[in-house]
Structure 1
Amino acid sequence: MTTSDARGVRNNNPGNIRWRDKWMGLVPEQQRTDTAFCQFVSPEYGIRAMMIILHHYQIKHGLNTIADIIQRWAPPEENDTQAYINSVVKVTGITAHKPINVTDSSTMSKLVQAIIVHENGYQPYDASVLQRAEKLAHE
């Protein structure tokens, strides 16, 4: 990791999750250098948080399409939500309004990787990082 890496990669928070909740794996308060976005001790913890949020979107809020999920993840007040949806559709190969099941490991992986690409411009993590994050999400 270098200082030229995208903010989400530097923060081990490739979904650019804002400070709100007390997540597992956050850096100690005295080491925080970003006041807007969470900083995690490793990318696995940042990806774990993404997976938990996406799971909650589907289970608690009934969001089961890429369009619905991204409209909540990246609301239009802060983002070009349609461009974000188009980006996720392109990376996942799943149409915007097709129902998906994020409890399916393959679907979750595609969705997380697509969000990482959109948030950071690239997806630097290999499959083992995503697998460790998924394992942490189920603990």
Structure 2
Amino acid sequence: MEVRGIRNNNPGNLNYVGQAGAVLEPGPNARFARFPTAEAGLAALRDQLRRYILRDGIDTVAGIIGKWAPPSENNTAAYIRGVAHALGVEPDTRLGPPSPRLLTGLMNAIIRFENGQNPYGPLVARVARDASSHSLHSPDSPRIS
């Protein structure tokens, strides 16, 4: 059986909060969003990272992953170390604006940590590049995580 994030087309394992096009995953422990396509799930992951960086001013791996995967549910310290290593930065290094290169690196690292694999190949970079054509939601919009 496929892992939950891949099965739900939600490689970032984003909680369901009424995202456009998403539904609540089925099952007794349902809490994550299920997207209609892998591309839609990747776009939701990208957009949440952009919100953290641009709207919330969270621009370090430690800050992003600390919010993404709180210690009450995750081994956040290991997650931070893994993502920082994948990006080749220290956990508290300021990452700068959400460029396609940065988003691709963050997305790939999060996907691997969340799912133990990353079956998406070049689709991740393509979705990350599409970020420039999407604006952030207003501060009133539902948060994805």
TM-score bin (small chain): 0.7 to 0.9
Q: Distance in 2 between matches of 1:133 and 1:24?
A: 19
Give the letter for the 1:16 counterpart. Answer: N
Shift of 1:133: 6.0
1:131–1:61 distance in 2 versus 1, CA, 3 Å = same
Check conservation: 1:54, 1:102, Cα contact below 8 A. Answer: no
1:137–1:9 distance in 2 versus 1, CA, 3 Å = farther
Aligned length: 132
Identity across the alignment (%): 35
Could you tell me which residue of structure 2 aligns to residue 8 of structure 1?
5
Equivalent of 1:87, from 69, 82, 104?
82
Check conservation: 2:47, 2:131, Cα contact below 8 A. Answer: no
Long gaps (5+) in structure 2: 135-145
Could you tell me which residue of structure 2 aligns to residue 122 of structure 1?
117
Structure-1-length-normalised TM-score: 0.84
Match status 1:63 vs 2:58 = yes
Check conservation: 1:66, 1:85, Cα contact below 8 A. Answer: yes
Equivalent of 1:49, from 44, 52, 55?
44
The residue matched to 2:67 in structure 1 has which SS? helix
Structure 1 runs (4+) greater than 6 angstroms displaced:
none
Larger helix share, 1 or 2: 1
Structure-2-length-normalised TM-score: 0.81
Could you tell me which residue of structure 2 aligns to residue 33 of structure 1?
26
1:135–1:96 distance in 2 versus 1, CA, 3 Å = same
Check conservation: 2:66, 2:76, Cα contact below 8 A. Answer: yes
